Amino acid sequence: MTAQLGGPVDPARFNAVELIKVKRDGGTLTPEQVDWLIGAYTSGVIAEEQMSALAMAIFFRGLSPAELNRWTAAMIASGERLDFSTLSRPTADKHSTGGVGDKITLPLVPLVAACGVAVPQLSGRGLGHTGGTLDKLEAIPGWRAALTNAEMLHQLEEVGAVICAAGSGLAPADKKLYALRDVTATVESIPLIASSIMSKKIAEGTGALVLDVKVGSGAFMKTAEQAAELARTMVALGRDAGVTTVALLTGMDTPLGLTAGNALEVRESVEVLAGGGPSDVVELTLTLAREMLAAAGRTDRDPADLLSSGAAMDVWRRMIAAQGGDPDAELPRARETDVIVAPTDGVLTSLDAMAVGVAAWRLGAGRARKEDPVQAGAGVELHAKPGHRVAAGQPLLTLHTDDPSRFAGARESLAAAYTIGESAPAQRSIVLDRIDH
């Protein structure tokens, strides 16, 4: 199922300082230099401060398309590459750049699997204001994120769906470089973002990939121009690597759905699988499902039919059980709640996604450092979305936490998060653009 790539590094082949100068001065690295840099950094030949300097040079100078392709290939070659060619059905995956209330992976994976396409979804944990898929699923009693490659392959064949943590052997160069970028103010570099995401997704071995690139206040990319540049860069990397890749730009000025948290979002995802749930979550789930099925060459089934029939729910239950979880178990609930009410009559005209994400984080749903624990029941529940008419004293938001001392910080982040006016804002499609080249 896996192939080990890469090889031993000759520490004397190149000089790290000279290669840093090349990028600092706007030059272009050769393929051999890129291979050596990634291999030498992964194996400890290049010091952290040297890679920090190179990352900053790339932040300001960028990477050419050829450099970026080679950089991504070298990241992949630093570890293993999964192979799903033995499966009896095609594979497709989805990656989201992260947002507030973005629980789409949870209903999407079993839905696409119910349509006949296997979904090997390798996900992560949250950091900062964006929630992590694994944190959400770990709210389910007994569910485990860590699977061996053999377990993953078996579950994909038997169930068609898996959501799990990436193994340590998958693009280890990215794991090391991402941690460095996080503490050196170089996270925002589009070439480094694109290579980080795509090295893991290509190494994962999926045959098709749909990218959900978020745009707006609660997203990493604040403008459509930034998001489109990132999307085009990632689509090119995927297609050059032989992976059918398409990207959607989707709005993230307002949280997705009516919850931001862990158990709260699982509960809402199950509602979607049961045929209900918020309309924006349902719409985006179906849109991404259709894109994944088309990319995998399976357009003979309408995912809306599989959602309404209960087939997707059946796959969800089997997927959760296969990873040790109890799909019938009661989900955790926070011990304390606090309600924020509308101060006046009118129409809710805006609700800032970033502010809601920060509030959920302050309530305990997220973490500031990778080592921090999260509260399964913490988060924010929305009782209205922009366009809804509200009355003075009506609940707008309910805050959930086990620690009531956290309410003050959450309320502070939400103090200017919403506006109430006289008329509803113009309706905006959740999908802003589609990029496939």
List active site positions.
95, 174, 181, 196, 200
**How far from 140 is each of 129, 180, 326, 367, 395, CA to CA, in Å?**
21, 32, 7, 19, 28
Three-state DSSP class for 423? coil
Residue 283 in tokens: 């719409």
**CB atoms near residue 435 (< 10 Å):** 21
Q: Which residue shows structure tokens 């990352």?
A: 55
Give the single-character DSSP code of 216.
S
Total count of residues recorded for the chain: 437
SS3 38: helix
The one-letter code for the residue type at 163 is: I
Rounded CA gap, 154 and 86, in Å?
A: 11
Provide DSSP, 110-127.
HHHHHTT-BEEEEE---B
Beta-bridge partners for 407? none
What Å distances lie between residue 75 and 30, 58, 355, 409, CA to CA?
15, 16, 35, 40
Neighbour count for residue 370 (Cβ, 10 Å): 11
> Which residues are registered as beta bridge partners of 251?
215
